[in-house]
Amino acid sequence: MSDRLIHHAARQFALWRVAAPSGVAFAPGRVNLIGEHVDYNDGLVLPMPVREGTAVAWAARDDGQIVVRAADQDAADEFAITAPDRPSVPAWPSYVRGMVAMLRAPMPGLVGADLLITGDLPQGAGLSSSASLCIVVGRALLAAAGFGAAPVVLARAAQAAEHGYAGVACGIMDQMAVAAGVPGHAMLLDCRTLEFTLHPLPPDWSVVLIDSGIRRGLVDGEYNLRRAQCEAAARLLGVSALRDATEAQLPMLPAGSAERRRAAHVVAEIARVRAASTALAAGDLPAMGRLLQAGHASLRDLFEVSLPAIDDLVARVNGRLAGQGGARLTGAGFGGAIVAVIGRGQVSGLASALGAPLRPVW
């Protein structure tokens, strides 16, 4: 948790409302070490929370209104808690209103609230700023009403908010990693059952993010198209989700088709997640590096969500590491950051070689 961000949110709320907030909620962003585009295929993933995130300073209201200020954008929204209408154009209010809508059914005692939102996650960098926003808004709303909720409840509400209010057919990984993740630990999450285990990173490993500088959005159709192609592949194979497909079944899909490429990525990526959890437990950095590199090649060639500039950045990092760790695109693709798992002693040398700052995760 970022104490600096918490204090900043409290100060901004006091300036806005000329009174101290009743509390400040926080939710981190997340980085996915491996297991990309498999959560909505009921697969296995290996994410972990990052240090940066989103804070919401809050105070309950007695008039049933939700009054929101996005301090970083100098923007505001207001609506009745009983009528969280979906905005016509997806933007940050979509996530706030979506969380109100999705929490009101399981939590009918929600009350109005003043909410001030601020954060230090870069937008469009593949660090799940949207899930962070949804989860922290949920935590603030529950705190204002004097409620608590299990991480799974918050995660499901956040996923539903993204589906119904932002138009993004996302899986559940981001929301679970943000709601239930523990700093310094990778979460091996089964996206079908939502069962998970937490695994500490070896003390001599470091996870760093390198921003490509290329921002991307998910509502331009490409993300939803990939999901539709995966679902079509599952139907052709006669399985409920590509989690249940095998490599031996892939020739059943039309040769050269997008469905075959997407399914090939998902089947191999789930196997890589299992292998990565084994490498993590063994502290085998070279094995983890090979898996990350293979995962990136699959995202580039089979899932087709990378870009040449990102491929070049990944290649530079992997060339510098020379087998002692590895890097790949993280997040949904078409821009954002890359993640590198390296030895702690490699951090300064890698930063110097790239001529760019590294953002440490752990």
**What's 290's domain CATH number?**
3.30.70.890
Is the model's pLDDT at 282 over the cut of 90? Answer: yes
- Average the pLDDT over 166-185 and give the result: 94
Long-range Cβ contact pairs of 193-202 (< 8 A, separation 24 or more): 194/152, 194/155, 199/277, 199/280, 199/281, 201/48, 201/280, 201/362, 202/280, 202/283, 202/285
In the block, residue with structure tokens 């890097």? 327
In the chain, how many domains are there? 2
Mean pLDDT, the chain, rounded, equals 94
pLDDT at 219: 42
Is the model's pLDDT at 286 over the cut of 90? Answer: yes
Q: How confident is the model over 296-328, as pLDDT tens digits?
A: 999 999 999 999 999 999 999 999 999 999 999
Model confidence at 362, pLDDT cuts 50, 70, 90, reads confident
Is 311 one of the annotated active-site residues of the chain?
no
Is the model's pLDDT at 108 over the cut of 70? Answer: yes
Percent of the chain with pLDDT over 90: 85
Query: At which of 173, 197, 221 does a domain end?
Result: 197
Q: How confident is the model over 30-79, as pLDDT tens digits?
A: 999 999 999 999 999 999 999 999 999 999 999 999 999 999 999 999 99
**Structural domain span for residue 208:** 202-360
Are residues 110 and 214 located together in one domain of the fold? Answer: no
Catalytic one among 42, 174, 211, 301? Answer: 174
Are residues 166 and 214 located together in one domain of the fold? Answer: no
pLDDT at 220: 59
pLDDT at 308: 93
Are residues 48 and 120 located together in one domain of the fold? Answer: yes
CA distances from 119 to 29, 96, 113, 283 (A): 10, 14, 19, 33
Are residues 238 and 115 located together in one domain of the fold? Answer: no
Model confidence at 338, pLDDT cuts 50, 70, 90, reads very high
Are residues 65 and 141 located together in one domain of the fold? Answer: yes
Are residues 219 and 149 located together in one domain of the fold? Answer: no
The pTM score is: 0.93
Is the model's pLDDT at 125 over the cut of 80? Answer: no
Model confidence at 1, pLDDT cuts 50, 70, 90, reads low
Are residues 151 and 217 located together in one domain of the fold? Answer: no
